[in-house]
Amino acid sequence: MDYVLHMLDLTGIQGMVVMLTAFLVGFSKTGVSGVLMLVIPVLATVFGGKDSTGVLLPLLLVGDIFAVWSYRRSIDWKKVLAPLPWALIGLFLGAVVGRVIADQVFVILIGTIILFCLGILVYTEKMGKNFTVPTGTWFYITAGILSGFATMIGNAAGPIFSVYLLALGLHKNDFMGTNALFFFIINSIKVPVQVFAWHNMELQSFILAGVMVPMVALGAALGLWVIKKINERFFRYLIICMTALSALRLLI
């Protein structure tokens, strides 16, 4: 383990955080997606705002591959492709903003976006079956742009895109498969942006992701099992509270 940390130029704390992140990436991609937001503020604290996204993105791609394979029979391509043009606009805006702002502001922006996403989760949770999702064209355009921007800045677009999928009335497996493919495409597009524009991803980032494949796989396997067994409502409440505290820490 010490050799691996030395080879990847990581401290012991950074190594433990990356291992936890890899596990939770796998778990969130096949199980309860909200858990991923818990680790994003922790990564930003340990690695810095922009650098943390360079560490996380290759891990997300590994998790996306596991998720797409797991739910490959439940993907609705039309519902994946419809918001993509708008998401690409949001991604471009996020890339421009991320390039010009200082890292301290970047961290604050991550925290703000996460709190915004948490607000969406809390509102939909509170409304329950009474929650009605807008279906106008403006809603799909807005959801696409916000998803692209949030995923570019803080890899935190999950709740926004979840509301979009909720509007389509997808069943659980269809939801998971469509969500997995959308983010696999978006995250793949983000790679050259972060390599050539932000300069926060190098060969080391991909080697680290390769080393962490077993942890992602373990998390993905547990996620597939837990999604069938756990009281998801209680788990979402726990994640919402812990993530809110983590995001507030970034802002304070």
**Alpha-carbon gap, residue 25 to 56, rounded angstroms:** 9
Task: Dig out the tokens for 118 from the structure.
Answer: 């948490």
pTM for this prediction? 0.85
Q: What is the pLDDT of residues 154-184, one digit of tens each?
A: 787 877 887 777 767 777 778 888 989 999 9
3-state secondary structure of 101: coil
Give the integer Cα–Cα distance in Å for 62 and 217. 9
Can you give the pLDDT at residue 143? 83
How many whole angstroms separate alpha carbon 62 and alpha carbon 128? 32
209 vs 231, which has greater pLDDT? 209
Taking only the tens place, the pLDDT of each residue in 104-120 is 888 888 888 878 877 87
Sign of the CA dihedral with 220 first, then 222, 226, and 228 last:
positive
Query: Tokens 């433990």 sit at which residue?
Result: 16
Q: Where are the alpha helices (DSSP H) in the chain?
A: 2-7, 12-30, 36-47, 49-70, 77-81, 84-100, 103-127, 137-154, 158-167, 172-193, 203-211, 213-229, 232-251
Question: Which of 69-78, 149-158, 185-194: highest mean pLDDT?
Answer: 185-194
| Signed CA dihedral, 41, 44, 49, 52: sign only | negative
> Position 25: which residue type?
V
Averaged confidence pLDDT in the chain: 84
